[in-house]
Chain A
């Protein structure tokens, strides 16, 4: 049995008077792809922001992260303290620096390391191998890339951080179908590199296909959980997200 890398217990997150998460329990094991499904406003992005210490969190909540074999409590830490522990995020809407070149964008991914690591060059090569198109355009401004390429760049930047856990927030949003397929392929590659993946998606079918396990969020609560296959087979879930079969 693989070790737990992330364990969220009874997580309550609030934005002022609004409670966005009402006691979430979730576990991610080393080497897994875990998909987080739910409609708009279900609290998927809030969960990611909570893990990165960017949301107000209620009492009694716990977010444990396995850092070198020791469970570390993430609540109370800020994002710039959490990211160096080995958690990288591909934010919703990509968040690439449009006025910087592709290569500069990738370098930002290593920023939190005070000194450049010898591995940085190696990581850059890996990113360029995974995304040959980024190598071709490495001197180009990120703003001139297509939406799909920007998503690749955001993924590449997260890879540069050399993470153990990568969180992706709606990586397929606004992409053409071919690009969506490519993004999901890359996510599988990421896992093969030994990186655990926590994937937030609205594209439920695709997300469940590559996922080992999935969680379904509805208005701040986990309403369903199971392996990817189980959830895919669940008629009611498929109906809710993909429309009922005729």
Chain B
């Protein structure tokens, strides 16, 4: 009895979420807002990727923009030079980015803490500088123009509201995969490494391969986000993949809540919406933005998701009480 009712409420939840997700592009008044919404989706994917690496495995990365950029450039080049379509670009981006995930993971295995942060940041800078200076391939600072929007099974995702559904699909896929990953053997190994790397090693966990796996997985998320980004904006340039972008990706996971599945959703929304809302502050916009983020991490050290969860549980505990009251009257 109880099981079926919880099943029904589960289905109801999914229907409500689906309804909200479908209504969003209908309600969005213009392309400007729709683009922000799509970017939220892309940053949810990026945030989920870094959440696996940093939130669950404890390996701080300040170079996620490099993976994001490699994914985006791979897609841009395959599409504009070789005329490849979405799926080929996506798979190629994933493969190329995974390769660089391993490349970064190997030196990263030897360092931790601040040194790992510096190493990953250095990796990000190297990739950005290559983007700028390898002009014959990347077209330098001018970037790569006129990337085509994707056509999948004959359906063209050529407007932002249509593109939205593509982003939502991959964001949900990414979140579901993360959830099953974290509950698996691999996820348990990741968490053990985060909690105490030495103890994990002494209980027979192969720390090396699991760390590499975490780097590669987070790179794959960046690759997917990179492909989606390149085909949405239809233009890539080194300006997008700067260290500030790495910070925003990191903050997306931190603000939402490291090591929580749904944290990056909250983080993605806040990190994308907040700077837009603050436009009324004029020149002070980024200062206010920074201060707000500082307050958030000082007040909610575990990120916002755990607080939201507590709040929802509090609401839930109130609701049945009201019901029984109304039944009594």
Q: B201's contact among A79, A97, A109, A157, by CB below 8 Å, is which? A: A79
> In this assembly, does A108 line the interface, its C-beta being within 8 Å of a C-beta of chain B?
yes
Residues of A within 8 A of B200 (CB): 108
Q: B204's contact among A80, A97, A99, by CB below 8 Å, is which? A: A80
Segment at the B interface, from A59-67, A88-96, A233-241: A88-96
* Cα A56 to Cα B121 with chains together (Å): 30
**Closest Cβ of chain B: how far from A49's Cβ, in Å?**
9
**B195, A80: Cβ atoms closer than 8 Å:** no
* Cα A54 to Cα B197 with chains together (Å): 13
**A108, B203: Cβ atoms closer than 8 Å:** yes
Instruction: Please encode chain A, from 143 to 181, with 1 for each CB lying within 8 Å of some chain B CB and 0 for all others.
Output: 000000000000001000100000000000000000000
Residues of B within 8 A of A83 (CB): 202-204
> In this assembly, does A137 line the interface, its C-beta being within 8 Å of a C-beta of chain B?
no
**Closest Cβ of chain A: how far from B189's Cβ, in Å?**
7
Residues of A within 8 A of B199 (CB): 91, 95-97
Interface size on A, residues (CB 8 A): 21
**Closest Cβ of chain A: how far from B198's Cβ, in Å?**
6
**Closest Cβ of chain A: how far from B211's Cβ, in Å?**
12
Residues of A within 8 A of B196 (CB): 95-98
**Closest Cβ of chain B: how far from A104's Cβ, in Å?**
8
Residues of A within 8 A of B201 (CB): 54, 79-80
Residues of B within 8 A of A84 (CB): 204
* Cα A100 to Cα B188 with chains together (Å): 11
Instruction: Please encode chain A, from 79 to 122, with 1 for each CB lying within 8 Å of some chain B CB and 0 for all others.
Output: 11001100001010001111110000000110110000000000
**B204, A91: Cβ atoms closer than 8 Å:** no
Residues of A within 8 A of B135 (CB): none
> In this assembly, does A78 line the interface, its C-beta being within 8 Å of a C-beta of chain B?
yes
**A111, B202: Cβ atoms closer than 8 Å:** no
**B192, A161: Cβ atoms closer than 8 Å:** no
| Interface residues, chain B, with chain A CB atoms under 8 Å away | 185, 188-189, 191-192, 195-196, 198-208
Other A-B pairs beyond A108-B192, A157-B203, 19, CB < 8 Å:
A52-B202, A78-B208, A79-B202, A80-B204, A80-B206, A80-B207, A83-B203, A91-B199, A91-B202, A95-B199, A96-B199, A98-B195, A98-B196, A100-B195, A108-B188, A109-B203, A111-B185, A111-B203, A112-B203
